[in-house]
Chains A and B, each alone.
Chain A
C-alpha cells in the first residue's frame, strides 16, 4: 500500500473536516455539553449523598391514633424522604400532575386495627398508596421505607404505649374465646403477660424509653473499585457513553462524506488513479479513526480537567479509545458500503446508532433491561466500548480487564470492514 498516497488521502479528509470551523466546534462541543448534563444528573448521589435529592412523599393522615401519629413522625424524620401532609384531594392532584410519585393515605382506625393485627386479633388494615404509574421505581422505594416505619410505629405503641396496654388487656380477655388450640393459646398468653410485665416495670421505674421494633441492621456502603484511591465519578460513565455515541455520529458523517463524494463524481477521479481498493478504503478508515478518536479524546480531556474524571490506566484507556474509534470508523465504512443517498443513509444510520447506544448502556444502565435483553447487549459493540472506558476510568481496573473488550471491538471492526469491502459499489459508471 503506497504510504504517500494514503497520507495524501488522509490529509485531504482532515483538511476537509477542519475547513468548516463551526462544524468542528459543534462536533467537539456537543458531546461535552450533553455528557456534562448526564454526568451532573447521574452523579448527584456520589458526593456523600449531600447533593442527593430527597424523594417527595405525601402523607395523608385520616387517623387520630398514636400509631398513626408515630408513623407520620418517623416517616417525616427519614433522611431519604421529603414528607408533606396535604389533604387527600391535594395529594391526589399532586400525584396526578406528576409532582408527587406517591401519596400514602393512613385510613381512619389504622392504628387500632394495626395493633390488633399485630397481636393476631384481626385483619391487617389497608394502607392506601396513590401512585404515579410512570414512577414505579420510586413507589417501590417508598414501600420499602414505609414498611420499616410502620413496623416501628406499631410495635412502639403496642409494647410501650397506653393504647397498646389496652389492646393487650382486651387480648387477654378474649383469649379464652379465641378458638385457638390450648397449647398455642398458652404460649400467646405468656407473650402477653411478658408485655404486661414490661408495662408494669416501665411504670415503676419511670422509664420513658419508647422503643418499638425497628429494622435490626444498619447498612455501611463500601464502594468497590480497582484501587482504594479510585472513587466513583458519575461524569466518567456519562462521558464514556456520550463519547462513543458521538464517535459513531462522526462515523456517520464519514459514511455520508463517502456517499457525497460518489454523488459529486469524486470517486471517479479516485478510482481512475492506479490505486488498489484496499488503499482507498484504508485511507478512509484511518482518517475516520483519527477523527472519531479526536472526538473521544477531546471529550475525555475536558472531563479530566473540569470534572476530575480519573484515568486509572493511561495505556489501557488509549487502547480502548483507539479500539472504539476503529470500531466506529469501520461501522462508518459499512454504512457507506450499503447506503443509498447521503440523506437517507444518514437518517437510517442515526437510528441504528441510537439503538446501539441505548442497548449498549450509554444512556441508562443495562441492569434495568429485561434479562434476555441484557444477554443481547453482549453483541452490541457500544457496550464493550463503554465497559472498557469505565474499566479504565472510575472502576480503576488493570490492563488485563480490557483485553476482552478491545478484542471484541476489533473483531466487530474486522467484520464491518470485510462486509464493507464485499458490499462496496466499486463500479463508477
Chain B
C-alpha cells in the first residue's frame, strides 16, 4: 500500500537526516519505525505526508508516486503528528469539522465521520467542549481522531502516545488494533520498545538516517538471540545496533 524507496533528505551540507531509506507497509499491517532521537524517523514520516520535499527517492501509494501538494493520493494518508495539532480554543467537533473539510468532506458525510471518529476514541460526550478543557490523554485521542476522520487507507502515527496515562495509551492501542482489523496500513514511530513488541507486525530500526534492520518481530528476536545470546531482549538488540551514546 505504502512504499518508500531510497528516500534522502539533507539539511545543508552538514546534516544528512535521511539517507537512502526504503521500506513498505501493507494493508492490515502495523510497521513500527524505531530509532533514537535524530535517527530520521520524523523526517521520513514528514516526507511521506508531503510536509518535506525529498532530495531523492520516492513515496508510492498503491504503486503510484506521490507528487506535489495537491496530489489526490494524499487523501489516502492520515497523519497523526507528534504535536497535539488541535485548536484549543474550539470545541472538538469544530476541530474535526475543519479537518474533515480539508479533505473534501461536507454535509451529512462530514457529520457522520465526526460522529464515528469521536465514538472510536471515546469522546462523543465531550464533542462540544473546548479542547482546552481536555486532559492530555483526551487531547491525544482527539489528535488520533483528527487523523482518521477522512477514513484514510494509510495512517502515519508519529509517537502518538507521548505523555499520556496508561489508560489513554491502552485506549489508543485498542484503536490501532481496530484499524488493523479494518485493513488500514499503519506506520508507527516510537522510542518505546514495548509498544513495538506489542503492536508491530514488522519493525524498521533507523539510526543516523539509515535503516539498520527491517524484519518481523520474530525475526528480530531471533537476531537478538543470535547476537546477544539466549534471553537477549529486543531492547538490547536495539542498543547494540544504535549504540549507548546519549543523543541530543
In the complex, the answer to whether A265 meets B53 with C-beta atoms within 8 Å is no
Complex CA–CA separation, A5 to B103 (angstroms): 8
In the complex, the answer to whether A16 meets B50 with C-beta atoms within 8 Å is no
Instruction: Enumerate 8 A-B pairs (CB-CB under 8 Å) in ascending A order.
Output: A4-B106, A265-B82, A265-B83, A268-B51, A269-B102, A271-B50, A274-B72, A429-B51
Per-residue interface assignment for chain A, residues 1 to 30, with 1 indicating a CB less than 8 Å from any chain B CB and 0 otherwise? 010110111011001100110000000000
Per-residue interface assignment for chain B, residues 183 to 197, with 1 indicating a CB less than 8 Å from any chain A CB and 0 otherwise? 000000000000000
> What chain B residues lie within 8 Å of A429 (beta carbons)?
11, 17, 42-43, 46, 51-52
Q: Which of B21-29, B86-94, B206-214, B219-227 is found at the contact surface with chain A?
A: B86-94
Interface positions of B (Cβ within 8 A of A): 11, 17, 42-43, 46, 49-53, 69-72, 74-75, 77, 79, 81-87, 89-90, 94, 97-99, 101-104, 106, 130, 146-147
Q: Which residue of A lies closest to B73 (CB)?
A: A274
Complex CA–CA separation, A402 to B128 (angstroms): 47
Interface positions of A (Cβ within 8 A of B): 2, 4-5, 7-9, 11-12, 15-16, 19-20, 264-266, 268-277, 427-429
> What chain B residues lie within 8 Å of A277 (beta carbons)?
69
> What chain B residues lie within 8 Å of A20 (beta carbons)?
89
In the complex, the answer to whether A266 meets B87 with C-beta atoms within 8 Å is yes
- Chain A nearest CB from B28 CB (Å) reads 22
Complex CA–CA separation, A10 to B83 (angstroms): 23
Q: Which residue of B lies closest to A9 (CB)?
A: B98
Complex CA–CA separation, A272 to B11 (angstroms): 20
Please indicate which of the listed interface residues A2, A20, A272, A277 has the most CB atoms of chain B within 10 Å of its own CB.
A272
- Chain B nearest CB from A259 CB (Å) reads 14
- Complex partner residue of A264 from B11, B72, B83, CB under 8 angstroms: B83
Q: Which residue of B lies closest to A17 (CB)?
A: B89
In the complex, the answer to whether A5 meets B101 with C-beta atoms within 8 Å is yes
Complex CA–CA separation, A221 to B50 (angstroms): 68
Q: Which residue of A lies closest to B49 (CB)?
A: A272
In the complex, the answer to whether B84 meets A264 with C-beta atoms within 8 Å is yes
In the complex, the answer to whether A428 meets B84 with C-beta atoms within 8 Å is no
- Complex partner residue of A268 from B49, B71, B89, B101, CB under 8 angstroms: B49
- Chain A nearest CB from B79 CB (Å) reads 4
> What chain A residues lie within 8 Å of B130 (beta carbons)?
19
In the complex, the answer to whether B85 meets A266 with C-beta atoms within 8 Å is yes
Complex CA–CA separation, A428 to B101 (angstroms): 21
Complex CA–CA separation, A8 to B43 (angstroms): 29
